Amino acid sequence: MNALIERMATQQMTMDQARPHTGIDTLPLAASRLELRYEGRAALDRVSLQLEPGTVLGLIGRNGAGKTSLIRALLGLVEPDGGSATVWGRAALQMGDAAKARLAYVPQQPEALAWLKVGDMLDFVGRFYPNWDASFVDDTLDRWQLPRDRMLARLSPGERQRVAIIRALAPRPELLVLDEPAASLDPVARRELLREIALRAGESGTTVLFSTHIVSDLERVASHVAFMHEGRLLLHSELDSLKERHLRLHVPASAADQLVGPVPGEVARRPHLYGGHSIVIVREEGAAWPTLANAPGVQREVLSLEDLFVEVAG
């Protein structure tokens, strides 16, 4: 399994480097071979990523996969041990006020200005943004039943997260970064958030990066998906394209005995209890299915996104 992960990560870095894109100065976020270590453990292992304008990228991974570390490195909130990160072409660690005014970030556990009342905090923050949408703030506070006159510190975790989301959306940012935005939200609030992300991306062309471990949320709004596992980016693809480029092959024992080495595009392999193998493949854009996919006795199965992620990172 480790060899497959190594190969997938290497293939993904090659694909990201070769992928055509607009000029680096227009990319909202970009990373090149980012490395980050905590107490000798690799939180990020040579991660390369490019986020095109208008993209809604869902970053999926298990707890501890490196999602938060990647987001913090991309935004210049932590200095990497290797590699580089840029925001609209400028080094993330040297981001100026003009760039900061164009983006919004909601951490997994928002705690800023917790001593203020909800309304006072939003009024205060709104003074720093010329495009602050006060009507949106008022309407959303009412719709989500959030009290203006209560201190942030006295709100539930889900309420604090919803206030942080309102704060992030009100300036109408060009780039919106959300770290596990639905972690503390109930199903109704989650659906409201996802609807708002879809509206912002569709109507205003807002570029969105959000991390999650809830695959159904990602499928609702993301245009692209990236899989993270043990600090590595295993897969980065357009969501619709990915659905057409992967298969699970059920290989009977008679055919499995003839396999020599990995199958082209192989990302996971598991033995069947009754003999043979289950092999998951993801072919590159424009490539044909490997010969094995059409071999006698081999059954083909298209996986859900959640099943594909479990196979790759399980």
CA distance 56 to 176: 9
Angstrom distances, CA of residue 133 to CA of 173, 190, 195: 11, 21, 18
34 shares its domain with 96: yes
Q: Are residues 223 and 270 in the same domain?
A: no
Q: 182 and 120 in one domain?
A: no
Pair (88, 185) in one structural domain: yes
The pLDDT of residue 7: 52
Closest CA to 13 of 32, 30, 26, 29: 32
Query: In terms of domains, do 51 and 191 share one?
Result: yes
One domain, residues 15 and 113: no
Q: What sign does the dihedral 154-156-161-162 (CA atoms) show?
A: negative
DSSP letters along 60-106, please?
Answer: E--TTSSHHHHHHHHTTSS--SEEEEEETTEEGGG--HHHHTTEEEE
Where a domain ends, among 239, 262, 286? 239
- 157 in the same domain as 282: no
pLDDT of residue 18: 46
pLDDT of residue 10: 54
Task: Choose among 153, 152, 178, 151: nearest CA to 165.
Answer: 178
Coil, strand or helix at 295: coil
Could you say which of 150, 172, 194 is where a domain stops? Answer: 172
Residue 91 shares a structural domain with residue 192: yes
Domain hosting 304: range is 245-313
CATH number for the domain harbouring residue 33: 3.40.50.300
Is 190 in the same domain as 254? no
Q: Are residues 211 and 276 in the same domain?
A: no
pLDDT at 6: 56
Per-residue confidence (pLDDT) for residue 13, from 0 to 100: 53
Indicate if 187 and 274 belong to the same structural domain.
no
Dist. CA 217–CA 136, nearest whole Å: 23
Q: Within 10 Å of residue 169's Cβ, how many Cβ atoms?
A: 23
Q: Which of 194, 216, 239 is the last residue of a domain?
A: 239
**CA dist., res. 220 & res. 268, Å (int):** 26
Give the three-state DSSP class for 144. Answer: coil
Strand boundaries in the chain, DSSP class E: 29-38, 41-51, 56-60, 82-87, 90-91, 103-106, 175-179, 207-212, 224-229, 232-238, 246-251, 266-271, 277-282, 299-301
**Count of structural domains within the chain:** 3
Q: How far is Cα 235 from Cα 65, in angstroms, rounded to an integer?
A: 13
Give me the average pLDDT of each 10-residue run along the chain (314 residues): 51 50 72 91 92 92 90 95 94 91 86 86 91 92 91 88 90 92 78 80 84 82 90 89 88 81 86 86 86 88 87 74
151 plus 199 within the same structural domain: no
